[in-house]
Chain A
Amino acid sequence: MSDIQLVDAPAGVEGAGFFATSLDKVIGIARSNSLWPLPFATSCCGIEFMATMAPHYDLARFGAERMSFSPRQADLLMVMGTIAKKMAPVLRQVYLQMAEPRWVMAVGACASSGGIFDTYSVLQGIDEVIPVDVYVPGCPPRPEAIIDGFISIQKLVQTETLRRRNEPQYQKLLASYGIQ
């Protein structure tokens, strides 16, 4: 046996020649281990992300080998760095171009709350313009923290029900950001 770890099969009913489980779990496992991140890196948190992607920390271990620089094929928007107010419509446009299901991770103090830039020209957290799933604290966060945030995203993806995106709460959340 090699020491390569495979993802465990979800709980289900097993017998001779068949295995039954719910579709939610299978799709959750498939999605969470093949998240395609779109790096939206504007400053120093982006440098930490580069270290996270590099062989030493190797985000590819979590199924995020393929950076998607097109929002159309991306699952996870990783916003890393200060977002100026002039950049906010661009970020929103990128989010709108992503197909459902989509997740957003705010990496670092600036993306989460504006950080040290408490000023008229900087967006005070990207959750003013798009909904955020996971916030990673730090200024900038270490690669371990980014990986921890990524694992949190994976847990969200795994446990998400297939109907979540059609539920009224989710539609209400999007409507509160003026999306559809």
Chain B
Amino acid sequence: MGKITNEELLKKITGKFQEQVTTVGEPFGLLTLETGREQIIDVLTYLKNDPALQFNFLTDITAIHYPEQEKQIGIIYHLHSLVNNVRIRLKVFLVDGDVHIPTATVLWNGANWMERETYDYFGVIFDGHPDLRRILNVDDMVAHPMRKEFPLEDPNRVDKKDYFFGR
């Protein structure tokens, strides 16, 4: 266990941000909070710079797609306080069609490639990112392949056609 319990952590964050941050749960002891894109950078800045918390390490930025939800696209931040050995997860859900969120490169340079990857796979546009272009897929790809509406299989595949199997 880390030096700060999840209760203390939650108390500090809600003390600062009140209703702007809601608690999702603590799966496997990992405190998970949800917030909006208006205050995500403020929350990240607070977590990074607060002298008691010191969440100085950005473990990951990724996204998730729930087509059945009203707010389909979720952007997920994992932070790690190397000083206190505590982790935290933040989620921001956005409506499909308006997937804009401010960049976290103002806080961590390491966010640069993570946000490019998230843009590549989910089409999340990070406003203010210095160089937002695809990082892993081919440049001329038009789709964002981790979205659920995108078929995983390659359409050029010939040896899986139905007529080979009597279908």
**Contact surface of A with B, Cβ cutoff 8 Å:** 85-86, 113-114, 118-122, 124, 128
Contacts and interface: CB of A to CB of B under 8 A. Distances in A.
Q: Is the interface of B mostly helix, strand, loop or mixed?
A: loop
Contacts of A128: 156
18 contacts: A85-B137, A86-B137, A113-B157, A113-B158, A113-B159, A114-B154, A118-B153, A118-B154, A118-B160, A119-B152, A120-B145, A120-B151, A121-B145, A122-B154, A124-B154, A124-B156, A124-B157, A128-B156
Q: How large is the interface on B (under 10, 10 to 19, 20 to 34, 35 or more residues)?
A: 10 to 19
Contacts of B157: 113-114, 118, 124
Contacts, number: 36
Contacts of A114: 154, 157
Going nearest first, the 9 A-B pairs with the smallest beta carbon separation are A124-B156, A124-B157, A118-B153, A85-B138, A124-B154, A120-B145, A86-B138, A118-B157, A113-B159
Interface of B: 136-138, 141, 143, 145, 150-154, 156-160
Contacts of B143: 120
Contacts of A119: 152-154
Contacts of B153: 118-120
Given A113-B158, A113-B159, A128-B156, 20 more contacts: A85-B137, A85-B138, A86-B136, A86-B138, A114-B154, A118-B154, A118-B160, A119-B152, A119-B153, A119-B154, A120-B141, A120-B143, A120-B145, A120-B150, A120-B151, A120-B153, A121-B136, A121-B145, A124-B156, A124-B158
Contacts of B152: 118-120
A121 B158 CA distance: 16
A113 B158 CA distance: 8
